[in-house]
Every structure is written in structure tokens, then in C-alpha cells.
Amino acid sequence: KRVALLISGGGSNMVKLVESMQGDHPARAVLVGSNDPEAGGLKKAAAMGVPTFAVDHRPYKGDRAAFEAELQRQLEEAQPDIICLAGFMRVLTEGFVRNWEGRMLNIHPSLLPKYKGLHTHQRALDAGDDVAGCTVHLVTPELDDGPILGQARVPVQAGDTADTLAARVLVQEHKLYPAVLRRFVSGDQTLLTLD
């Protein structure tokens, strides 16, 4: 199976996913793309031998459809079977999602359905939650709302800030996403829970 990954920044999740596919694995990373030409993850992908591209979303301003048309064009060239959104910070329209529905995954840094959207860790702290975590889900047109494929839970500790909690969750993201992808590639969509 051919996997394309989309990032917006450092791409730490992308790196772990690409590394997970370098050994004996039914899938391989064929392309890494970003909406930011300066995304640090693009260099990391290139260093791992994965072709990269960037479609800077800024020149498109509010024309989301035009941005997505170029994104789609670049993706189609690599003919991926699966797309992994990994720290990709652009909202995708229904039209784009429909092209890939059922084969586009995302990782979100909360225990969905709680805390869809941004600032998930601060919101969990503000709510006084004892447990936080991350979720890998299939992408559907509604933001952070698709069928859940895997979740990992971490304890919230006294004195946690959004940054310390984010760092603890990120460690679990790096375990969860590769594990979910490996199962997904083999057609297994049963829920994976890491505690």
C-alpha cells in the first residue's frame, strides 16, 4: 500500500510513521506534502528519502477550493492508497474529503469526542480532567468527527501546563499512529486503545 502524509510543521508524527514503514511493513511512504514550504518536516522527509512537495496556502487567501485543487493534483501524481494527516493544520472542505473518504486518517491531540478543534490540552486542564490523550480517526467532512480507530490515554499530573501535557501526549501519539496505520493497512479497523 502507498501512503502519502500531509504536515504543516515539524512533522514528528510523520517521522515516526515513515520510520515505521521502513522495515517489514505492508505499506510504504511515497510522498510527504505540506501547506507551508518552510515546514521543518519537509527536510526530515527528504533526509529519509521520501519525495516531498509544498503547496503554500497563503497565495490562495480565501480560495480554499483552489488550494485544495492543487493539493489534490500533487497527491494524485503519487497515487496514494492512504493519506495520513499528521500535524496538518488546514481545515479540508467536504469536496476534498469526499475524494479520500475511508482512506484518510488524522491524529488529534485529545480523547475525541472531547475537545474537537484547537487548544485541546489547555481545555482539558481548564476542565480539571484527570485523563487526557490522543485519537486517530478516519477523516470525514465534519472536523475531528470521523470513526475512531485508536486512542491513547495519559494521566494529567498536578502542576501540568498545556506544554507539559502536550509533551506527554505526543509520546503516545508517536506510538499510537504507527500502530493504528499498520492495522488499517491490513484492513483491520477495530478500535486500538493504549493505556
Task: By CB under 6 A, name the binding residues for ligand GRF.
Answer: 7, 9-14, 86-87, 107, 109, 134, 170, 173
What are the catalytic residues? 108
Residue 65 or 118 with smaller CB distance to ligand GRF: 118
Rounded to whole angstroms, the Cα distance separating 12 from 171 reads: 10
State which residue, 65 or 171, has the beta carbon closest to ligand GRF.
Answer: 171
33 is in an annotated binding site: no
Q: At closest approach, how far in Å is the CB of 26 from ligand GRF?
A: 22
Question: Can you tell me whether residue 29 is helix, strand or coil?
Answer: strand
**Cβ–Cβ < 8 Å for 102, 81:** no
User: Binding residue per annotation — 99?
Assistant: no
Rounded CA-CA distance 13/16 in Å is: 5
106 annotated to a ligand binding site: yes
167's grid cell: 509533551
DSSP codes, 127-186: TT-SEEEEEEEE--SSTT-S-EEEEEEEE--TT--HHHHHHHHHHHHHHHHHHHHHHHHT
Q: Name the minimum Å distance from CB 73 to ligand GRF.
A: 24
Residue 23 counted as an annotated binding residue: no
- CB nearer to ligand GRF: pick between 34 and 71: 34
- Tell me the closest approach of the beta carbon of residue 46 to ligand GRF, in angstroms: 16
Identify the DSSP state of 71: H
For the annotated binding site, the residues are: 11-13, 64, 106
For the annotated binding site for (6R)-10-formyltetrahydrofolate, the residues are: 64, 106
